[in-house]
Chains A and B, each alone.
Chain A
């Protein structure tokens, strides 16, 4: 009896449903979808910089902060053994990578890879990758310091206190790039801003202390800072009075003012205003006696110490910390009326811009500026300190949004002022019990805010204001890093019930906004996710291979140890194991690398920063090889035939050389495969074999090119029960494989007539 050849082409992704609607795969491991419509071996990863060669000749070596070398017995040093002639891992002293950030300056010409980790027990702090020092022990990274070059780690005796780190599943430090700066928040430590040279506190936690002042004549106080012509009105001079007239007391020789001060940091951000000063009153000098000019034409001289002119107010202004570069002074208008009484209480609450002191040094400033030279009225509600305990940050429509710290409020900054948070700039999302805010993600026309069980869209802009509208309360996101955008599709995120896709969320784009369940074909893998630790799940889009990665903890693990990969060109899922992704980024340049920080430490060779690429020979170490496998779904021949007998498989693959392809198969979903040993064939056209590396000779062998080939595997299931379902497993024994399709040759028995019941009962409905 002739066999029938059933073609499985093209090969698609995993679908674990009992009866998948289309022929797909049961398992796809360590493979990637190639744009030539084939499944090829995935890449691996390795540390971003090479290990350091040692010169030690003994097996006992101290590896510590100061370098490495032979340790003397009884030295008390913390010994870490390094075998003679070996190499030292460049991250050998680092612990788990807490967070990872990437940003660039100068339109992408200067790039920064910043990570947060602890080195040699010295406290968690921030570092940046420094390729110019790589290759030597302790090189390849530089610690980020503050404005004066000191470490961000606080040292008290032998105790070092770095940034906060909570053990167990936790939200990692979040960051946002803004105008060549990187803002970092974690909800515990003060927010930081890194400008490429130093890191310093972002924003303000309060305003300065209120100023105080005394009335003085110009130049008396010893300050070199004086401005203006004097306050109030002065008595006229002798030349101003006609002969015979009496000196008239002018109005407003008395004056009263109040002041407020704010700080300006080097990024031009202004702190909240200080409390107003007390009322500072003064009176311009008058003659000791009012003399009249006599008619003789001679002028009288006044007694006493009359000095014509106006007085000043010597204002004591506070100085700020290292980040402060200027102070702004605000003042009321003249509060005394012509009767020498306070004009109104409300006037005492209106402050106008007076002066900007462009330093952080002087402590006294003399004010003699008349009211006509005051600037605009200031509203203290336009300023505000950085919201406490914010651990999520995003930029949208020239505004920075902060969330977290246990609050369901979103605070947003003044436009184009990322460190100024007016008190009234808040959006409350506390009208339901959908949990705390877990993530924020800016898109074209909306800032998407996730709660554990809800999704909100914040829309609007600076001129019209911002408002939140709920999108759904049926699902949310588990963590701030579990969100990533899939080009051409939407925003993918991990919810409690799987991976979802938010389509639309845009205005006037013709796309309906809705939430789709993307992980429908892979329920078994979703069930394995440890949702209690999923707060640290990491979603990343790797554009080079057109993949969406979701790194999650599975099987009860508290750390991410499994990667679900969505190949968005074909809408297919696969998975990868042994990826210790604690945090990850993709570089937003032409290189487009995926770099992740490992959540392992100690002697694990995968510690530190790793880069994923197709030139890697394994996953960090030879202990974790790349094991590419494509396993078809269970082909349900029993839906058509009573039984079949498989005869051969024709595998359509790319001829990579002498590396073997192995094939095995499972019958009727048996727990074990049909063959004890795999069928093996090398990836060469048997009719025309190409030369390969290690046997080819320069000058005599030709270059070839990869081409599709067909490999035949003769199989048999005679020792098995009647075959109704057949599953084929294809693996690579070496590194490289690419499969495009599979033809299954079977000998089938009599067909079974199978009619959908709907077609019969439909006509019987009343």
Chain B
């Protein structure tokens, strides 16, 4: 029984000895500082609430497209992949498990000499997947040895109740080997050179509390 009782009875006419005063205070503070237990907590200090259980444990959302989307060869920044953006509202804390697949096609001519027929081995492609702006997956960089390339990304992020945005991006770059290291530079597009995103899809598996 974790209760404490007064140590000193102070009465009118008693001398003002602080030790008497402190003994009563210490009896209280000593318990506050480490010896509280259920006897010190009144039942009305703990309110028992209710939490509604979700009617399901998981859900999913999907999106995708097949219409070709040309990437801007002149841009060195991240370019959003169309048809893969999703806005998902949640009622409670959830876990988003996102999977994405991309099919990218490009021509293989050298950007500086398209007529040479040489492989554009200095061109590389990166991809990224974000949830609410947080990068949850990254793909690449893959150098353009093949005309058709595929990317698969997988990412997980716990989210709170609210609206959430899922996006997929791609970025192009050209690497130049100078001074015994690779440096990424922007591509100088020439006529006829292209880089396209063909079929693409994304699925978000939602694990609900």
A interface residues (Cβ-Cβ under 8 A, vs B)? 44, 46, 48-49, 102, 109-113, 129-135, 587, 590-591, 593, 595, 611, 613-617, 655-659, 682, 684, 690-694, 696, 701-706, 734-736
Q: With the chains together, A131 CA to B2 CA distance in Å?
A: 8
The answer to whether B11 and A616 touch across the interface, beta carbons within 8 angstroms, is: no
Chain B residue nearest to A660 (CB atoms) is: B13
Q: With A593-B5, A615-B7, A735-B9 in contact, is A130–B15 under 8 Å at CB? A: no
Return A163 CB to nearest CB of chain B, in Å: 22
Docked Cα-Cα span, A496 to B35, in Å, equals 43
> Complex: how many Å from CA A102 to CA B2?
12
Are B14 and A692 in contact, CB atoms less than 8 angstroms apart? yes
Task: Report if B43 contacts A (CB, 8 A).
Answer: yes
Query: Using Cβ atoms and an 8 Å threshold, which residues of chain B touch A132?
Result: 38-43
Give every chain B residue within 8 A of A590 (Cβ-Cβ).
35
Of A611, A614, A659, A705, the contact of B14 (CB 8 Å cutoff) = A659
Beta-carbon contact of A703 and B16 below 8 Å: yes
Query: In the bound complex, how far is the Cα of B14 from the Cα of A658, in angstroms?
Result: 6
Chain A residues, CB < 8 A from B6:
613, 615-616
> Does B19 sit at the interface, judged by CB under 8 A?
yes
**Nearest chain A residue, comparing its CB with the CB of B46:** A132
CB distance from A659 to the nearest CB of B (A): 5
Residue of A nearest to B7 (CB): A615
In Å, the complex CA distance between A692 and B20 comes to 13
* A-B CB contact pairs (8 Å), 16 listed: A111-B37, A129-B1, A132-B38, A587-B1, A595-B1, A613-B5, A614-B7, A615-B9, A657-B15, A682-B13, A691-B16, A692-B16, A702-B16, A705-B19, A706-B15, A736-B9
Q: Identify which of residues 1-34 in chain B touch chain A, using a CB-to-CB cut-off of 8 Å.
A: 1-19, 24
Task: Using CB atoms, name the residue of chain B closest to A133.
Answer: B43
The one of A595, A690, A734 in contact with B11, judged by C-beta atoms closer than 8 angstroms, is: A734
Q: Are A693 and B14 in contact (CB under 8 A)?
A: yes
Q: Would you call A130 and B39 a contact (CB within 8 A)? A: yes
Whether the Cβ atoms of A693 and B39 lie closer than 8 Å is: no
Number of contact residues on B: which range applies?
Answer: 20 to 34
Residue from the list B1, B13, B35, B43 in contact with A734, Cβ < 8 A: B13
Are B15 and A692 touching (Cβ within 8 A)?
Answer: yes
Please report whether the interface of chain B is mostly helix, strand, loop or mixed according to DSSP.
Answer: loop
Shortest distance from the beta carbon of B46 to any chain A beta carbon, whole Å: 9
Starting from the known contacts A692-B14, A734-B11, 7 additional A-B residue pairs (CB-CB under 8 Å) come to A48-B1, A131-B40, A613-B6, A615-B9, A616-B9, A696-B16, A705-B15
B13 in contact with A705 (CB, 8 Å): no
Chain B residues within CB distance 8 Å of chain A = 1-19, 24, 35, 37-43
Residues A693 and B13 in contact in the complex (CB < 8 Å), given A109-B37, A131-B39, A131-B40: yes
Given contacts A111-B2, A132-B42, contact A691 B7 (CB under 8 A): no
Q: Is the CB of A735 within 8 A of B1?
A: no
Chain A residues, CB < 8 A from B39 = 111, 129-132
Nearest-CB residue, chain B, relative to A626: B9
A694 and B4 alpha carbons, distance in the complex (Å): 26
Report the Cα distance A617→B5, complex, angstroms. Answer: 12
Out of B10, B15, B35, B38, name the residue touching A655 (CB < 8 Å): B15
Q: Which residue of B lies closest to A684 (CB)?
A: B15
A615–B13 touching, CB < 8 Å: no
Collect the chain B residues with CB atoms within 8 Å of residue A129's CB.
1, 39
**Cβ A657 vs Cβ B14 within 8 A:** yes
- In the assembled complex, the CB of B77 is this many whole angstroms from the nearest CB of chain A, namely 60
In the complex, which of the residues B7, B13, B17 contacts A659, with contact meaning CB atoms closer than 8 Å?
A: B13
Establish whether residues A736 and B14, one from each chain, have CB atoms under 8 Å apart when the complex forms.
yes
In the assembled complex, the CB of A593 is this many whole angstroms from the nearest CB of chain B, namely 7
State A696–B16 Cα separation when bound (angstroms). Answer: 8
In the bound complex, do residue B5 and residue A705 qualify as a contact, i.e. CB atoms below 8 Å apart? no
Q: Is the CB of A113 within 8 A of B1?
A: yes
Q: How far is the CA of A48 from the CA of B10 in the complex (A)?
A: 19
List residues of chain A with CB within 8 A of the CB of B10: 693
- Find the A residue at minimum CB distance from B5: A613
B1 partner residues in chain A, CB cutoff 8 A = 48, 102, 111-113, 129, 131, 587, 595
The residues of A that contact B5 with a CB separation of less than 8 Å are 46, 593, 611, 613, 615-616
A112 CA to B37 CA in the complex, in Å? 12
> For the complex, what is the distance from the CA of A611 to the CA of B11, rounded to whole Å?
20
In contact, A135 and B42 (Cβ under 8 angstroms) = yes
A residues in contact with B17, CB < 8 Å: 703-706
Smallest distance from the beta carbon of B154 to chain A beta carbons, Å?
45
Most buried by A among B2, B10, B16, B19: B16
- CB neighbours (8 Å) of A735 from chain B are 9, 11
A656 touches B15 (CB 8 A): yes
User: Are A614 and B11 in contact, CB atoms less than 8 angstroms apart?
Assistant: no
Nearest first, the 3 closest Cβ-Cβ pairs linking A and B are A615-B6, A131-B39, A658-B13
Which residues of chain A are near B40, meaning CB under 8 Å? 131-132
Which residues of the partner chain B approach A614 to less than 8 Å between Cβ atoms? 7-9
| Cα A655 to Cα B15 with chains together (Å) | 8
Q: How far is the CA of A464 from the CA of B150 in the complex (A)?
A: 81
Q: Report the Cα distance A577→B35, complex, angstroms.
A: 34
In the assembly, what is the distance between CA of A611 and CA of B10, in Å?
18
Set B2, B3, B12, B38: member contacting A693, Cβ < 8 A = B12
Inter-chain contact B18/A131, CB cutoff 8 Å:
no
CA distance A595 to B1 in the complex (A): 11
Assembly CA distance A704 to B16 (angstroms): 5
Q: Given the complex, which residues of B lie within 8 Å of A48, measured CB to CB? A: 1, 3
Which residues of chain B are near A135, meaning CB under 8 Å? 42
Residue contact B16 to A656, C-beta cutoff 8 Å:
no
Closest to A659 in B: B13
State in angstroms the CA–CA spacing of A694 and B12 once bound together.
Answer: 6
Which chain B residues border A616 with CB–CB below 8 Å?
Answer: 5-6, 9
A703 to B9, CA, bound (A): 17
Interface centre among A615, A702, A703 (most CB of B within 10 A): A615
A735 and B38 alpha carbons, distance in the complex (Å): 34
CA distance A684 to B12 in the complex (A): 14
**In the bound complex, what is the Cα–Cα distance between A109 and B37 (angstroms)?**
8
Q: Which residues of A contact B37 (CB under 8 A)?
A: 109-111
**How many angstroms between the C-alpha atoms of A684 and B15 in the bound complex?**
9
* Whole-angstrom CA separation of A631 from B53 in the bound complex: 74
Name the B residues within 8 Å of A705 (CB-CB): 15, 17-19
Residue of B nearest to A615 (CB): B6
The residue that B16 contacts in the complex, of A49, A659, A701, A736, with Cβ under 8 A, is A701
* Chain B, Cβ-Cβ closest to A131: B39
**How far in angstroms is the closest Cβ of chain A from B100?**
50
B35 / chain A contacts, CB cutoff of 8 Å: 590
Question: Given the known A-B contacts A48-B1, A129-B39, A132-B42, are A692 and B7 also in contact in the complex, defined by CB atoms under 8 Å?
Answer: no
- Cβ of A657 and Cβ of B13 under 8 Å apart? yes
Name the distance in Å between A689's Cβ and chain B's nearest Cβ: 9
B43: A residues at CB distance < 8 A: 132-133
| Residue on A nearest B21 in the bound complex, by CB | A703
Known: A613-B6, A692-B16, A704-B16. A659 touches B41 (CB 8 A): no
CB-CB nearest in chain B for A587: B1
Bound Cα distance A104, B13 (Å):
42
User: Is there an interface contact between B15 and A591, defined as CB atoms closer than 8 Å?
Assistant: no
In the complex the two chains form, is A131's CB within 8 Å of B24's CB? no
Which of B6, B12, B15 is packed against the most chain A CB atoms within 10 Å? Answer: B15
With a 10 A CB-CB cut-off, give which of B7, B17, B19 has the most chain A CB atoms.
B17
* CA gap between A113 and B11 in the complex, in Å: 31
Rounded to whole angstroms, the CA-CA distance of A244 and B7 in the bound complex is 102
Residue among B5, B13, B24 with the highest chain A CB neighbour number at 10 A = B13
Q: Is the CB of B3 within 8 A of A131?
A: yes
Q: Which residue of B lies closest to A109 (CB)?
A: B37
Bound Cα distance from A473 to B54, whole angstroms = 76
Chain A residues, CB < 8 A from B9: 44, 614-617, 735-736
Interface hub of B1, B10, B35, B41 (most chain A Cβ within 10 A) = B1
* Alpha-carbon distance between A696 and B21 when the two chains are bound, in angstroms: 15
Contacts of A655 in B (CB 8 A): 15
Question: Could you say which residues of chain B place their CB within 8 Å of the CB of A692?
Answer: 12-16
Nearest CB in chain B: distance from A732 CB, A = 11
- A111-B2, A131-B1 known; A690-B8 Cβ under 8 A: no
